[in-house]
A and B are shown apart, each in its own frame.
Chain A
Amino acid sequence: MRFLLGVTFLLAAASAGAQLAIEITGAGAQRIPLAVLPFAGEGGLGGQGITAVARADLERSGLFRILEMPPLSPLPTEATPINYAEWRSRLADAVVFGSVASRPDGRFEVRFRLFDVVKQVPLGGIAYTLTREQARATAHRVADFIYEKLTGEKGVFSTRIAYVVKRGTRFELQIADADGVGAETALASFEPILSPAWSPDGRRLAYVSMEAKKPVVYVHSLLDGKRYVAANFRGSNSAPAWSPDGSKLAVTLSREGGSQIFLMNADGSSLRRITSSSAIDTEPRFSPDGRWLYFTSDRGGSPQVYRMPASGGEPQRITFDGSYNVTPRLSPDGKTLAYITRNGSKFQVAMLDLANRQGQVLTESDRDESPSFSPNGRMILHATVLNGRGVLSAVSADGRVKQRLSATAGDVREPAWGPFIE
C-alpha cells in the first residue's frame, strides 16, 4: 500500500465469466513518460484494436506513464517524419507512431516506429501481418518490443500463466495471457488440482491431480489435451519440477515411506531416489543452469530451504531466518531465490540474494503461497487471500510494482508463469 499512487486501473475483461480482472495497486517510483499514438486505421481490426491493449500492458508493468494526448488530425503514422521538439514539449521521453492497413487477402498489416525523444533517435519498428483473431497477440508483441527497447530487458506481455480456479466443488486448471485475458480451461475436475509446472518449451504442464482419491502426477500436452500419468506409485505423488532441458522431472513420492524427492525421465521411466532422510523433503526446483536442486526440508526441525547437487549429494541449508521458509523458486538468472516465509502468523513472499545472503520480505499480505517468477525475472506472481477469497498477486522483484488478478467468482490459486515463447 505504501506504493499506491492513487491511481487504480480496473481493466475489466471483455468476454464472459472465466476471465481474470487485473488491478494495478502500485507502480515504480520513476516511470518513463511514453506517448503511444492511436495506430491510424486500427478501427478496421474491430475489438480493442492494437494500441489500447499495448498501452494497458505497458502501464501495468509499472515502468511507464502513458501520456494522454489530445486527438491529433491527421494521425501520424510510422511514415510520418517526427518533430522531436514538439514531443519534448509534450513531456514525452518516447513516442510510438503506427498504422493498421487491411490487405487484399483479408489479413491486416500492423506497422509502427518507436522514437527516443530525449536522445532524438529512432529506436526501430516492426511490421506484422496478422489475422483479425491475432490482434491481441500482436498488440502484446508491440508492447514487448517497446518494453525491451526502453528498459533493456525482454517484455513478458506475450507469455501465458497457468493457475487453478476453485468454484464450489469444481476445480479448473486454466491458461490465460499474462494480462489474465483469454482464459482457457485445460482440465476440469471435482477433485483438487495443484502444483502446475510448465515444461521449458511451454507446451506441456506437469501437475498434481487428486482424481484418483490420492495425489498423482500427470503431464498434460496443451495443444491436443492429451495427458499421461508421470508418477502414480503406491502412496502420494506430488510436487513435479522440470529439469531445464525438459528431459527429467523431480517429484516427491511417499512410496518408500515419508516424503522424499526422486528424479525420473519425463515419461516416468528410470526412477531414482535422490534424498534420503527421515524428514519431509519436498518442493524440488532445479536451478536454471541445472546444477542444483533446491527443496524444502524439515530435517533441521523446522521447514527450511536447502539445496543439493542435482545429481545427488550432500544438502546445504540456504534459509536461516525464521522457523518456516518454504517453496523455493529460482529467478531466471539463478541469482535470487523467492520463497514463502512465516512472520508470526503471516505467510509472505520473501527474496534472498544468493550471493550476499541478503533477505527481503516483498509483500504485506498474510496468506501468500506459490511464488512464480516472470520469465524476465522482473515480477513474482503468487497466490494470496483477499477478503476471504483466493486471488493472484504480482510484485516486482524490488517490491515497488504490484498488481492483482481476481476471478469474477471463485478462488484463484497455484499460479505458474510460463516461459518465453518465440
Chain B
Amino acid sequence: MRIITLIVAAASFGLLLSACTTTPESQAPAKVEERAAKPPSAVDTKPIASVDLTKGANPLKDPNNILSKRSIFYDYDKFDVRAEYRGLVEAHAKYLRDNPGMRMLIQGNADERGSREYNIGLGQRRSDGVKKMMTLLGVRDNQIESVSLGEEKPMDDGHSEAAWAKNRRSDILYSGEY
C-alpha cells in the first residue's frame, strides 16, 4: 500500500509537471504582459495537499485500527459469523458507508476435506454471509462482491485440526488490493 501511495503521489506530481510545462505554450505570446501584471497565479497560493507517510494515515493498514483486521474464522461446517467478529464486520461496514467509492471483495474459504467444487460452495456460503451482514448494516450491494476460493488458498498448509481452523475463513480485501 505504501508503494501504491508513492506511485499515486509520483503520478500526480508528473501530472502537475506536465500541466506547468504545457500552460505557457497554450497561451498566445501577446498576452504575456497582461499575465505578468497579475499576482502570482492562483496555483501558488492554494494550500498543498500533503501526503504524510510517517503517520498511520490509512486506517485500513494501521495495525491499531480494527479495519486492518481482515479475516473471520469459522467453526467446522459452520457459516455464521461468531459474536467475536461482529465488531470487525460493523467497523468495515461503517467504513464502506463512509467511503461510498470504496469496493470490497470478500473471499470465502474452506478447509481441505472433501470435494474441491463443493468446498467452493461452502466458502461462498461464508462470504455471502458476511456480505449479507454488511448490507443489513447499510452498505450498498454494489460495493461488495462475495466470492469463494474453496480449499485452494489455505492460510496454513498443514493437515491438522488447528490448520483447518485457520483455513475456514472469510478474507476482506479493498479496491487496489485484488
**Partner-B contacts on A (CB < 8 A):** 192, 194-195, 210, 213-215, 234-236, 238-239, 252, 254, 257-259, 280, 282-283, 296, 298, 303, 324, 326-327, 340, 342, 347, 369-370, 388, 414
Contacts and interface: CB of A to CB of B under 8 A. Distances in A.
A118 B11 CA distance: 84
B145 interface: yes
A347 B146 CA distance: 29
B80 to A, nearest CB: 15
Given A214-B105, A280-B122, A280-B125, A234 B145 contact: yes
A362 to B, nearest CB: 17
B21 interface: no
A257 B128 contact: yes
B96 interface: no
Given A213-B105, A214-B107, A280-B125, A252 B149 contact: no
B114 A283 contact: no
Nearest to B105: A213
A252 B152 contact: no
B115 interface: yes
A289 B118 CA distance: 25
A283 B122 CA distance: 13
A296 B118 CA distance: 8
A297 B68 CA distance: 36
A388 B120 CA distance: 23
B114 A192 contact: no
Nearest to B145: A234
Contact of B121 (A282, A347, A388): A282
Given A254-B128, A257-B128, A258-B124, A213 B178 contact: yes
A236 B114 CA distance: 19
Interface residues of B, number: 26
B170 interface: no
Contacts of B72: none
A215 B116 contact: no
B153 interface: yes
Contacts, number: 98
Contacts of A340: 114-115
The residue among B115, B124, B149, B159 with the most chain A CB atoms within 10 A of its own CB is B115
A394 B152 CA distance: 24
Q: Chain A's interface: helix, strand, loop or mixed, by majority? A: strand
A296 B122 CA distance: 12
A215 B114 contact: no
A293 to B, nearest CB: 15
Nearest to B116: A194
B55 interface: no
B172 interface: no
Contacts of A252: 117, 120-121
B100 to A, nearest CB: 18
Given A280-B121, A283-B115, A414-B116, A214 B128 contact: no
Contacts of A327: 115, 117-118
A258 B149 contact: no
Contact of B120 (A213, A238, A257, A370): A238
A214 B104 CA distance: 13
Given A258-B125, A280-B122, A280-B125, A195 B117 contact: yes
Nearest to B120: A238
A258 B116 CA distance: 16
A56 B49 CA distance: 74
Contacts of A280: 118, 121-122, 124-125
A239 B117 contact: yes
A257 B124 CA distance: 9
B113 interface: yes
A369 B116 contact: yes
Contacts of B148: 214-215, 236, 254, 259
